[in-house]
Amino acid sequence: MNILLTGGAGFIGSNLLKAFVSDDRITLVRVIDNFSTGFRENIQAFLDHPKFQLLEGDITDYPTCEKAMRGIDLLSHQAALGSVPRSIADPVNTNANNVTGTINLFTAAKNAGVKRIVYAASSSTYGDSPSLPKVEDVIGKPLSPYAVSKYVMELYADVFAKTYDMQFIGLRYFNVFGPQQSPKGAYAAVIPLFMEAVLRHQAPTINGDGSYSRDFTYVDNVVDANLKALFTENPEAVNQVYNIAFGSSTTLLSLFEMIRTIAGSDLQPHFGPFRQGDIPHSLANIDKARSLLGYEPNISVAEGLKLAYDGLRPL
C-alpha cells in the first residue's frame, strides 16, 4: 500500500511517519506539509529512507492535493491548524486549513480512487455537552472556530462516504502528548510547556484554578489506533467516528504534580485566568473503539509522562 500522510512534520504526524516506514504493509509514505506548524527536524531522520517521499505544499491549494494523491492507496489526514485560542484569534485561517484543506483532500482522493481515509477528528466536537464520559453519538454545540472546523470534517466525511462509495474513519483525539510535541509558541500544548518550565526551573502558569480535567493520551496509543483504522478488515468499523483516548481524566493540577514528581522538583505553579473556549472537563468512553477496531491503550498517563520527560532531558 502507498499512503499519503498529511502534516507528517507535525507532532502526531511525525510519530505516525516513524510507524509507517517500519510497517511491512506500507511500501511508500508520501508526506505533504507546508511547515507552518510542523518542524523539518521531525522528518530529518527519514529523508534518505527508501519508503519516504516529501512534497512540500499546502492542502488549501487543490492542484497540490491532486499531485499529492497520485498513486496513493490510503490517506492519513493529520494536517490541521490546531489550538482553540488560535482559532478564536484567527478563524479565517483555521477554516481555510481545516475545512477547505480537508474538502480539497477528500475530493482529490475521490478522483484518484482512494478508497479509505483515516482522519484526525477532535474531542472539541463535544462542545458544551455536559455528559461524561463522552460517547460518540452525544455531542453539544461547538465552543470555538476550531471545534466547528473539526466537526465539519466529520460531516464532509459522512457525505463523501454515502455519495461516492468511499470509506472514512474519524479518530477523535483527546489531548495527545509525547515525543516531538513542541513547547514553543503561544499555542503550545500544556504538557510540553509544564515540562520545559520544570527543566528551566521556572514556575509554569496554569489556566484557571487547576481543577479542569482532561483525558490525556500518550501518542503511541494514538499511532496504534491509526494503524488499526487504516488496515481493519471489519466492515462494521468503517464510516464511523471513534474516541481515541486512555479513558481516564486528570486535572491540570494533578498533571503538574506528576511532572514535578518525575523531575524531582519543588516548583509551585502560578494560576492565571481560564481560557476562552475551553471546556471544563473531558473524559472519553472508548468502548466503541475497543469493540470495532480492537483498540487498547497500553501506555498510561504516568508511564507516558515519564517517557516524554526522559526524551526531553537535558534542555
In this predicted model, what pLDDT tens digit does every residue of 40-58 receive, in sequence order? 999 999 999 999 999 999 9
What domains can you pick out in the chain, each with its CATH number?
2-177+216-247+285-293 (3.40.50.720), 190-213+248-282+301-312 (3.90.25.10)
How do residues 78-137 score in pLDDT, each as one tens digit?
999 988 889 999 999 999 999 999 999 999 999 999 999 999 999 999 999 999 999 999
Q: Which long-range contacts (CB under 8 A, 24 or more apart) does 256-265 make?
A: 256/194, 256/204, 256/206, 256/210, 258/301, 258/302, 258/305, 259/191, 259/194, 259/195, 259/198, 259/305, 259/309, 260/198, 262/305, 262/306, 262/309, 263/195, 263/198, 263/199, 263/309, 265/198, 265/201
pTM over 0.75: yes
For 58, list phi and psi in degrees, rounded to 5: -120, 130
The pLDDT value given to residue 83: 85
CA-CA-CA-CA torsion sign (77, 78, 79, 81): positive
The pLDDT value given to residue 280: 84
Helical ranges in 167-293 per DSSP H:
190-199, 219-231, 252-263, 287-293
* Residue 310 buriedness (CB in 10 A; 0-12 / 13-18 / 19+): exposed
Q: Which three cell numbers stand for residue 134?
A: 463522552
The pLDDT value given to residue 315: 45
How do residues 297-312 score in pLDDT, each as one tens digit?
999 999 999 999 887 6
The half-sphere exposure of 246 on its side-chain side, counting CA atoms within 13 A, is 20
DSSP, res 281: B
For helices 252-263 and 301-312, what crossing angle results, to 10°?
Answer: 50
Confidence of residue 207 (pLDDT cuts 50, 70, 90): confident
| Bridge pairing between strands 217-218 and 176-177 | parallel
Q: How far is CA 149 from CA 91, 143, 232, 263, in A?
A: 9, 11, 27, 37
From the list 214, 172, 224, the residue with the least C-alpha distance to 194 is 214
- pLDDT above 70: residue 313: no
* Residue 301 buriedness (CB in 10 A; 0-12 / 13-18 / 19+): buried
The mean per-residue pLDDT over the stretch 243-266 comes to 94
3-state secondary structure (DSSP) of residue 303:
helix
